[in-house]
Structure 1
């Protein structure tokens, strides 16, 4: 697979693909970075930031590594669709970099290293990361002890949060990971119960939240402002009001309130019945 084929399959725009093709990383430099990635990630990430034009350097480096890891996906008999969907995060964060800095590249290099290590997979609308609970989760109905194997759910900024596509993603995850986990967990502003003060029951966000049982809210955590407005501003009156969600959240935070980051848990299907 060529780098162009990879970029096209994950949906990158032609202008970004051309920049990727034009940016050269010498083989000795690439090999050095690859070794550092495998042996000393802290140094790897620090070294990346030292590169001139490090955003685009990181994008090209990561794409080259992703092309190589395709062989591992094949060996594990993971479908091509899962491979390309998983690495579509490179496209999403490249678009974010262009929006924020006006240049092609990546910024969230620690986060985007996970698919390169096969530690996270996108299955339909959602991403799933196998982890063990660092602390027990207690709800009114059950307790998941510390160390329990779960799937950490992440929501890519990639279109509508349609409830049917989310349910399909959970089903895919149960088939993909099979019996290796007990529940889904999600820490996100999208599962904060406080959003019920902003949105109606017909909202996709509220429907998505309803798929989980809440077990806490983390404060202070301004993830909602970051995601809804694109950046956190200390002068909250400057937030845009282009959508109904922006208008509702702006009024909410101007009133001195904060949605925080919700913590939700959803048992796998056979354990819910």
Structure 2
């Protein structure tokens, strides 16, 4: 049995371990949340009322207060963790808040959480999404049946949905390590990973060499459907650009991906979002489900 966690980090130590810089911590120290206990109650019991509460603030202050409140929630979850593993999961999850705070600062010059992301990050805080290493996993039922030569999955099959958070570039070792952690942590769920992302776009085959990190991630997935929507791709590859077709000619070409993808866009094509499954760890003959 795992030894219970006995020593807890202070809030500042906890946030430093999650990557928060001195400037971020100073920002959080200057912010004041009114009645944290009441806001916490709203978060878990009346989420819509919580979001409405924050609408009273000016935009930039609202982004900052969401960061302050969400770090508070994650820290409270960390304090209640009964094992070392639970405490580590709370710390790793908070690293996502750091990444979003950096991105918010890039766009608005304040450390906060970008608009509408609080409706995704709440699932991370509640433990519905679990960060393990460099990837995040969410047990989720698929909303359609999947028919492929390799496998058939009926609608509502529960798979491990994969999210790729911002952060250092993925390596093959990072990917393998995260999957192995997920297989151990979610050992009661069918070991099939599901991903819906621009990272699985079939057009990437024309833009990148198969040895690149993105292609190493993509190669594990069998694509079962495509979406003709390039918005997610453009947001990630050109985060400082607006999705305007007439403006493609001005898109930057600082990377191989940007250069090749820009040529596809200028030719009138798009880079589709794809839905796929990874079944490399699924071995039904060995009773692993």
Q: What TM-score comes out, normalization by structure 2 length?
A: 0.88
The offset of 1:270, in angstroms, is 4.1
How far apart are the structure 1 equivalents of 2:91 and 2:205? Answer: 35
SS in 1 for 2:220: coil
Q: 1:237 aligns with which of 233, 246, 249?
A: 249
The offset of 1:3, in angstroms, is 2.6
Q: Mean alpha-carbon deviation: is it higher for 150-159 or for 90-99?
A: 150-159
Where does residue 75 of structure 1 map in the other structure? Answer: 82
Where does residue 283 of structure 2 map in the other structure? Answer: 271
Where does residue 62 of structure 2 map in the other structure? Answer: 54
Q: How many residue pairs are counted as aligned between the two chains? A: 270
- Does residue 195 (structure 1) correspond to residue 201 (structure 2)? The answer is no
Post-superposition, which runs of at least 4 consecutive aligned residues in structure 1 deviate over 6 A? none
- Does residue 9 (structure 1) correspond to residue 17 (structure 2)? The answer is yes
Q: What TM-score comes out, normalization by structure 1 length?
A: 0.93
Q: How does 1:30-69 map to 2 (within 5 A)?
A: 30-52=36-58, 53-69=61-77
CA contact (8 A) 2:192 2:279 kept: yes
SS in 2 for 1:215: strand
CA contact (8 A) 1:151 1:185 kept: yes
Q: 1:122 aligns with which of 127, 131, 153?
A: 131
Q: 2:109 aligns with which of 102, 106, 109?
A: 102
**For each residue in 1:40-70, what CA deviation from the matched residue of structure 2 results, as whole angstroms up to 9, or x when unmatched?**
2123223223223101111111111111111
**For each residue in 1:140-189, what CA deviation from the matched residue of structure 2 results, as whole angstroms up to 9, or x when unmatched?**
22111112111110111211121221011111100111122341100000
How far apart are the structure 2 equivalents of 1:36 and 1:76? Answer: 27
CA contact (8 A) 2:196 2:274 kept: yes
The offset of 1:254, in angstroms, is 1.4
The offset of 1:261, in angstroms, is 0.6
Q: Cα RMSD (Å) of the superposition? A: 1.8
The offset of 1:220, in angstroms, is 2.1
Q: Mean alpha-carbon deviation: is it higher for 142-151 or for 228-237?
A: 228-237
Where does residue 87 of structure 1 map in the other structure? Answer: 94
Where does residue 26 of structure 2 map in the other structure? Answer: 18
How far apart are the structure 2 equivalents of 1:186 and 1:84? Answer: 24
Gapped regions of structure 1 (runs ≥ 5) = none
SS in 1 for 2:136: strand
How far apart are the structure 2 equivalents of 1:137 and 1:75? Answer: 39
How far apart are the structure 1 equivalents of 2:86 and 2:76? Answer: 16
- Does residue 162 (structure 1) correspond to residue 174 (structure 2)? The answer is no
